[in-house]
């Protein structure tokens, strides 16, 4: 009989590309994951991993077992969700992956009342970029993901995932109170074409949207400073080193020195979504968490 825990370990190794990364994802030690894989190999009677350089990859047999096993694990997940629904039980461990401002402005405020109401429920939070959160849910490394989609910037969602819209979040240009744009009721790309920007790294969703705001102008934003953290952007703007485009959700208080100016043409809005595997659609825990996150998201924007 194939060990289901070991099957999950094999899938994690195949997804992450190493025993160490799989162990971190699963909350085990690398030694424990290695032992699970060896036990699975004895049960299956075929080699499942092979070493390539310093890492490991799944053999042909390993890939087949992981792919078929994913369907089996999905069926078991759906069965467990159905049992919890029949028993009206909100319990278990939910692994939640969310982008940074959602962790700060959405997840953290929403969770305490839920955990007090359902003492049998545990939620583990990992900060992930939107596409990574979706990938983690798709591959079984997380159960619930919170992501954001800006305008027409693509954010592909696999077919076996279910998506729920939580809220719409707006971004505004943040400037110092003594900046020439501070008194504008609304700004357009032509108004800030020659400004220095504090921005997220190239390739990030927020950076892509900032670039899209300059479509039709024949130029790109002049990026002077790069940081993943919006708090750092605020500090740079406060120091007079540039301006920044920052969403409202999870944004720190601007204080007396900074002003948020609305943007038009195009309005920088993002859709906040939650994703989970369709096999968990009947899970009371997922249902309770989605209900808690939606009002918080609406309040945060």
Fold held by 4-82: Arc Repressor Mutant, subunit A (1.10.10)
pLDDT score for 296: 58
91-168+271-300 is a CATH 3.40.50.300 domain: no
pLDDT score for 269: 87
CATH topology agreement for domains 91-168+271-300 and 170-268: yes
Four-way CATH pick for 170-268: 3.40.1380.10, 3.40.190.290, 3.40.50.1980, 3.40.190.10: 3.40.190.10
> For 300, how many CA atoms within 13 A lie in the half-sphere containing its CB?
30
Domain boundaries, the chain: 4-82, 91-168+271-300, 170-268
Residue 229, number of CB atoms within 10 A of its CB: 11
CB 102 within 8 A of CB 250: yes
pLDDT score for 209: 85
Cα(125)–Cα(275) distance, integer angstroms: 15
pLDDT (tens place) for every residue of the chain, 301 residues total? 777 778 888 888 887 778 888 887 777 888 888 888 898 888 888 888 888 777 788 888 888 888 887 777 777 777 777 777 777 789 889 999 999 999 999 999 999 999 999 999 999 999 998 989 998 898 888 999 999 988 777 788 998 899 999 989 999 999 999 999 999 999 998 899 899 999 999 988 889 889 988 888 888 999 999 999 999 999 999 999 999 999 999 899 999 999 999 998 777 888 999 999 998 998 999 999 999 998 755 544 4
Cα(129)–Cα(149) distance, integer angstroms: 11
Listing DSSP states for 170-207 in one string gives EEEEEEETTSTTTT-SSB-GGGGTT-EEEEPPTTSHHH
């Amino acid at each position: 009989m194939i060990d289901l825990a070991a099957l999950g370990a094999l899938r994690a190794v195949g997804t992450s590309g190493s025993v160490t990364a799989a162990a971190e994802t699963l909350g085990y030690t690398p030694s424990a994951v290695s032992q699970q894989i060896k036990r699975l190999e004895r049960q299956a009677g075929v080699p499942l991993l092979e070493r390539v350089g310093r890492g490991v990859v799944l053999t042909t047999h390993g890939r087949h077992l992981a792919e078929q096993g994913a369907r089996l694990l999905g069926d078991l997940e759906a069965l467990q969700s159905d049992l919890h629904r029949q028993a009206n039980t909100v319990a278990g461990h939910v692994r939640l992956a969310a982008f940074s401002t959602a962790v700060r402005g959405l997840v953290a405020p929403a969770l305490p009342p839920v955990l007090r109401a359902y003492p049998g429920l545990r939620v583990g939070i990992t900060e992930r970029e939107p596409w990574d959160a979706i990938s983690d849910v798709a591959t079984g490394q997380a159960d619930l993901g919170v992501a954001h989609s800006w305008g027409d910037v693509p954010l592909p969602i696999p077919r076996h995932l279910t998506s729920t819209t939580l809220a719409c979040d707006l971004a505004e240009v943040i400037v110092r109170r003594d900046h020439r744009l501070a008194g504008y009721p609304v700004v357009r790309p032509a108004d800030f074409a020659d400004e220095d920007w504090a921005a997220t790294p190239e390739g990030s969703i927020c950076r892509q949207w900032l670039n899209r705001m300059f479509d039709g102008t024949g130029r790109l934003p002049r990026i002077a400073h790069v940081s993943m953290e919006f708090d750092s952007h605020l500090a740079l703007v406060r120091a007079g080193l540039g301006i920044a485009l920052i969403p409202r959700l999870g944004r720190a208080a601007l204080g007396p020195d900074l002003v948020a100016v609305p943007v038009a043409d195009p309005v920088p809005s993002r859709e906040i979504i939650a994703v989970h595997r369709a096999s968990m659609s009947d899970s009371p825990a997922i249902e309770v968490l989605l209900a808690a996150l939606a009002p918080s998201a609406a309040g945060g924007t």
